[in-house]
Structure 1
Amino acid sequence: MLDTQHIQLKENTKEVGVKIIFITEDSLKKRKTKIANFALLEELGYKAKGNFYVQTDKILYVGLDDDNPESYANAACLAIKSLRNLKITQANLDLKGIAKEDQSHILQGFLLGGYEYNGFKTKKDDEKLEITINLLHINEKILHESQIICKSVNFVRDIVNTPPNIANSVYLSELAQNITMQYAKKYKNAEIQAIIRSNSYMEEQKMGAFLAVNQASNFPAFLAHLSYKPKDSKSSNNRKKIAIVGKGLVYDTGGLSLKPADYMTTMKADKGGACAVLGAFLATIALELDIELHAIMGITDNAIGKSAYRPDDVLISREKKSIEVKNTDAEGRLVLADCLSYAQDLDVDIIIDFATLTGACVVALGEYTSGVMGYNEDLKQKFVESALKSGELAHTLPFNKHLKKLIESKIADVSNVSSSRYGGAITAGMFLGEFIREEYKEKWLHIDIAGPAYVEKEWSVNPSGASGIGVRACVEFLKSLS
């Protein structure tokens, strides 16, 4: 993993360095006597918009839009940027009186907002600025959890940002295996394993959909199966067993249905689902959650060449359903179909897949929101609530029996793309639903993260590029089950 994170959070009982004070416009109006330098702020017309640094007193005022959790996260993010611009390496923040939920979002703002990916820039070591935030009156549990989760998010950002000439299928599968075994050595109170399945295994399992996508690649396909199970047997009878499945297209040209050049330049991010699954898996281990977790990563790329699969091909999936290929750029759903089949053999309570699946989801919900789909309305809503609590944006999209007709095929069981340009995110989700067995229909969720996984501008606590979306939402959902 590249060294891209230079923010340290420490619990402290003494103020060290610059003092950070969060302030709202309302507080400026109502609590004049309690605000240091109020006269100066008033004289200069500061309205709690943006940041204001009083150098003589070493105080950084950070404007809050309001007192909701996201505002705290955004404010902490802005504070880090100001500290970096001012070359300040030591700061302190007193969290006395701030609610636990708000504390959590503040820490996310520091740790996620301070992320930078510049591993391939030529720069001197002294240009790296290590910033330490000393926290007074911090909730220790929240600090511990936030550091673990944000470390996983930033780890995922690193992988997704890594260019495809480096992060090929071999790189990603070996990374998943190696870091899982590192965690296995560190966390002895759980059974932790990493099994990497290769092409030969997938041929034995008749994963015709997955293998078709890999046909033109210079690198083999891999199905990574990572597992975590606490050794404590006290709650083993009631322990939830979960599978999380991720689309890991390390690069997507579109195959023979070649993407236009402008749509291809960010396709290193098409591995975002599998990377999010890996990040959530590692965070689960470090948090020692009382669940059994299986992480399935479908890893390959979608290349062009004389061996490439074609529009008009008919593929046979692991579930023995036939698929008519009408567009080779709808490849992620083919990989997921066989990975979801594999996951259903694990006898789990819930299956959740994460994928940068459709541009249609971005059209429907915008760049910043994940689409949540499935047959179980209560389960969908529970995941959305977990996502929002974690700091991610998510919204449900409804399956529609009329849309299902659009993926019918005249020569196979199902078509890999819809016959209409409308409702593409939903028809992609319903395609996946064709490979979910009846006993798992109420236990499965599909999360389309195509919008927020990679955005080429800063937003909230996320930098330009990879966001690590999916990790926080997934971990929060898993915490609710443990």
Structure 2
Amino acid sequence: MKINLVEKSEKISSEVEIIFVKDLENLTNDKEVLEILDFKAKDESCVLLAESKKIYVGFEDNSYECIAIATATAIKKLQTTNFKNAKIELNEVLEENFKALVEGAALGQYKFVDYKSEKDKKKIELDIIVDEKTKKLESILNESKIIAKAVNKARNMVNTAPADFYPEVMAKMAQEIAKDVEIKCEIHGESYLEKHKMMAMHSVGRASIHESKLIHLTYKPKNPKFKIVLVGKGLTYDSGGLSLKPADFMVTMKADKSGGCAVLSTMWAIAKLELPFEVHGIVGAVENMIGGNAYKPDDILTAKNGKTIEVRNTDAEGRLVLADCLCYAQDEIKDIDYIFDYATLTGACVVGVGEYTTGIMGNNEVLKRNAVASALKAGEYATSLDFNRFLKKTIKSEIADVCNVANTRYGGAITAGMFLDNFIYDENKNKWIHFDIAGPAYVEKAWGYNAHGASGAGVRTTIGFLKDLLED
């Protein structure tokens, strides 16, 4: 989609106009027709008046969410027509929510059609009409287009089938991203994992025909304000290993790479936006499969930091990959200010907070609150989940340092986060946040401005958090 900022004095050739409605009573045109069609000024309510070439879309309040959903709803309606050009006249409400307007349009038009034999090739152009272009509006437009493109990059990667997206492919994708934005990229294979005693990650991938890859992207501008590490779970497919998933639970497991895809896309956006931070993106790209060489329940694995892990369930594999990736990050990168990890880690998080919400965990209450605030401000749902000493006891092992699953079915998202805490060094305990994106990363139905499938969860939250750091 092409989005343009156009002054009223310029020639405009748009075929249809999109009109936002918060209160039907204030309409001067088409009110009677809309009432006959039972149009309501509500979120996701939309009517096309083909003869007058107008799309009316409802919204309930002046929030990011409502404006973004309204824009996406209108664009989706436009996609059902033969119109190729639309315009929106910017009023006071839309100008105050210009970021939501742009991102709602760019995210709402997204479709994943790579595997369709007949593809919809229609390109839509959106003109946003203003009295006068300002540097502020142009800046928001450019920034929001980059952010939305990064989200859509993550969506594409996550939606790609596992036969076409395995660890080697993920590594090549990282190299392409690095080349595009001129940042450093290092790729390490299984011999590196063995040499550096990263046997938790190595064990998860050893039964796959695809070699596991440790990916490390580095963006280093001049005079960075902070040093930030982003770590992503890149399980390109998760069968559950020898603790095999039921057949219907395996469907959608291509989405287990969502955390890693979010990190790769966020690194691209950070470089494109030229944010003044040194940022490292680390992804453990692994495929968890079955075979004669598969790791087993009852195995004792040793992570990079020397801690031993009792394996009681091979389907709790993402935390094993992250454990070594977190240790690698802290060993290789010194004087870190923030460490964030992203993972579709637990079904328990989905049970606890629903499909649309990220669970945020860590030891620093202020940092967690700030992350939740940044997520909500950026348009993503998030909530804080608290560690406690009693749940910590449930991952205690009698024969190793820690167990990879708890001895209780309750609080599984939190116990998984507390497992990861074992691999955060003391000096970094208050600098670390764990994002469990198992719910919003992949949903098998359209919601808001998200299409069926991947949502790119985590990208906007992270960019929002970094930008909020600039305002502190």
Question: With structure 1 as the length reference, what TM-score do the two structures score?
Answer: 0.93
Distance 2:272 2:2 in 1: 18
Asked if 2 retains the 8 angstrom alpha-carbon contact of 1:371 and 1:394, the reply is yes
Match of 1:17 in 2: 15
Paired-residue identity, %: 50
Distance 2:407 2:65 in 1: 40
Matched, 1:219 2:210: yes
Match of 2:184 in 1: 193
Secondary structure in 2 matching 1:194? strand
The within-5 A match list for 1:254-269 is 254-269=240-255
Could you list the runs of 5+ residues in structure 2 that have no partner in the other structure? none
Deviations 1:56-101 (A, max 9, x none): 3322111113332211111111101111112211100012313555
Deviations 1:167-226 (A, max 9, x none): 011001111112211211xxxxxxx20011111111111001011101101011111100
The within-5 A match list for 1:220-369 is 220-231=211-222, 233=223, 236=224, 239-345=225-331, 346-347=333-334, 348-369=336-357
Asked if 2 retains the 8 angstrom alpha-carbon contact of 1:89 and 1:129, the reply is yes
Question: With structure 2 as the length reference, what TM-score do the two structures score?
Answer: 0.94
Secondary structure in 2 matching 1:60? strand
Match of 1:150 in 2: 148
Distance 1:207 1:55 in 2: 61
Asked if 2 retains the 8 angstrom alpha-carbon contact of 1:96 and 1:136, the reply is no
Matched, 1:93 2:81: no
Secondary structure in 2 matching 1:315? strand
Deviation at 1:349, TM superposition (A): 0.7
Secondary structure in 1 matching 2:93? coil
Matched, 1:28 2:24: yes
Deviation at 1:455, TM superposition (A): 0.4
Asked if 2 retains the 8 angstrom alpha-carbon contact of 1:245 and 1:274, the reply is yes
Distance 1:99 1:412 in 2: 57
Secondary structure in 2 matching 1:230? coil
**Distance 1:45-1:449 versus aligned 2 partners, 3 A rule:** closer
CA-based RMSD of the aligned residues comes to 1.3
* Pairing partner for 2:157 from 143, 156, 159: 159
Distance 2:434 2:246 in 1: 27
Instruction: Give the letter aligned to residue 212 of structure 2.
Output: A
Asked if 2 retains the 8 angstrom alpha-carbon contact of 1:72 and 1:105, the reply is yes
Secondary structure in 1 matching 2:92? coil
Deviation at 1:13, TM superposition (A): 2.0
* Pairing partner for 1:113 from 100, 108, 111: 108
Distance 1:213 1:59 in 2: 55
Asked if 2 retains the 8 angstrom alpha-carbon contact of 1:69 and 1:101, the reply is no
Match of 1:189 in 2: none
* Pairing partner for 1:8 from 2, 7, 17: 2
Instruction: Give the letter aligned to residue 40 of structure 2.
Output: K
Asked if 2 retains the 8 angstrom alpha-carbon contact of 1:240 and 1:481, the reply is no
Asked if 2 retains the 8 angstrom alpha-carbon contact of 1:291 and 1:481, the reply is no
Instruction: Give the letter aligned to residue 440 of structure 1.
Output: N
Asked if 2 retains the 8 angstrom alpha-carbon contact of 1:255 and 1:308, the reply is yes
Distance 1:41 1:309 in 2: 62
Poorly superposed stretches of 4+, deviation over 6 Å: none
Distance 2:111 2:38 in 1: 32
